Structure 1
Amino acid sequence: MNRRAMTHRFRLLSVLVACLALAACGSQDPGQTPSDRPPLEGAAIGGPFTLVDKDGNTVKWEDFKGKYRIVYFGYTFCPDACPMDMQALMKGFGQFEQTNPELAAKVQPIFITIDPERDTPEVVGQWTSAFSPRLIGLTGTREQIAAAEKAFAAYSAKGEETSGGYLMDHSRIAYLMDPDGKPLAMLPVDKGGKEVAAELRKWVK
C-alpha cells in the first residue's frame, strides 16, 4: 500500500472513530442499554447527493426518503474486494428477505461507483444486476461522486496501473441508514451473509 493510501485510510479511520465517539456521548433513554442503540446513532455520516442510475435517470438521496438504505462505495473493475463484499451483502439481504419479506421491502441497497470514468450507467447496471435485481447502481460526474464520498466519509484514490488497467484504493464500508437517512450501523460484509442478515434483523423495524 502506498503512503498516500495509508494516510487517507488513517484519516478515514479517525473520522469514523470521532463519529462513533460522538454517538456514544449522546443522550440515552433510562431503560435503554448501549447494545440497544444503533452504533452510528448521531454520527455525521450521510447527506444529499445527485447521481444517475443505469438508465441515465437522475437519482437524489431524498428520493429514498421513507426507506432504510444500504450504501456501499466501490467500482465494477475491482478484482476482488467489491465482488466479495457485494456477494456477502446481497446474500445476507436475500436471507433477511426470505424470513422478513415485509421488512426487506422497506430496504434499498445502493452501490455507488468511485470510478465514473469507466463505470458508465450501463456498466454499473449490468454489474449490480449480477448480484441482485434489488441492488441499485449509481454513477455520475467526478464532482458528483466526490460530493457523495464526502457526505459518507468514504475514501477513494486512483491506485497502481496493471496490465488490465488501473486499480482504485478505497474504503470498504456498507452503511445501513434509517428511513430519514440517518446512520444506524456498518454491516459486517467481511464476516459473510449470515452476519449481515443478523445485523439487518437487529435494526430494520
Structure 2
Amino acid sequence: IFGVLAGYAFANLKFKGSSLMFAFLFITIFMPVDSLLIIPLYSLMMNLHWVNTYWALTIPFLASATTTFLMRQYFLTIPKELEDAAKIDGASPLRYLISIIVPLSKTMIGSVMVINFVYAWNFYLWPLVVINSNNMQTAQVGLQMLMSSGETRNWGIITAGTLIVLVPVLILFFGVQNLFVKGITTTGLKE
C-alpha cells in the first residue's frame, strides 16, 4: 500500500523537491541493510518498546524503497491521457489512483507483493537481533540453529523444517500466479 501511494506520488504529483527526494530514495536501494540500517532500526524499536514483539518483525517491512521505485517506473508507462480524462470527469487524484491506476497495475502489484514477502520472510539477521525469546523466533533462525548445532545433524528434521518454511512462499506465489499469466498474455494487446 505504501509503495503504491509513494510510487503514484513520485510519478504523477509534482511537488517541490520531488526529484531530490526520489534521488535519495533511489540511493537507499543500494545501501546494505545489514551494516547501515540494523543499528538505527534497533534503536528505534527500543525507543518504541517493540523489541521482542511482532510489531518489530512486521512494521519495518511495510515500506520499501524498491517497491516505490518499481511502482513509480510502472506508473510512468501509463498514458497521461487517462489522467486528463479522469480530471475532466471530475475524479480527484485519489479516485484516479483507486479506480483506474490500481486495476491497471494488478500484475505489478502482485509482483512486488511476492518480492517483498519473500524478502521479509527470508530475512535472517533482523529477527535474530530484535527477538530475544526462543518462543517468538522465526523459522529461518530456528533452521540455522539446527544446522549449526554441535551435535550430529538430523537431516530429516532439517528437511521438514525447510519444507515448512517454503510452504507460505509457494502458497503466495501460486495465489498470484494468475496475475502473472494474465499480465503476460495481455501485454501489447489493445482493449
Taking structure 1 as the reference length, the TM-score comes to: 0.24
Which structure shows the higher helix fraction? 2
Taking structure 2 as the reference length, the TM-score comes to: 0.25
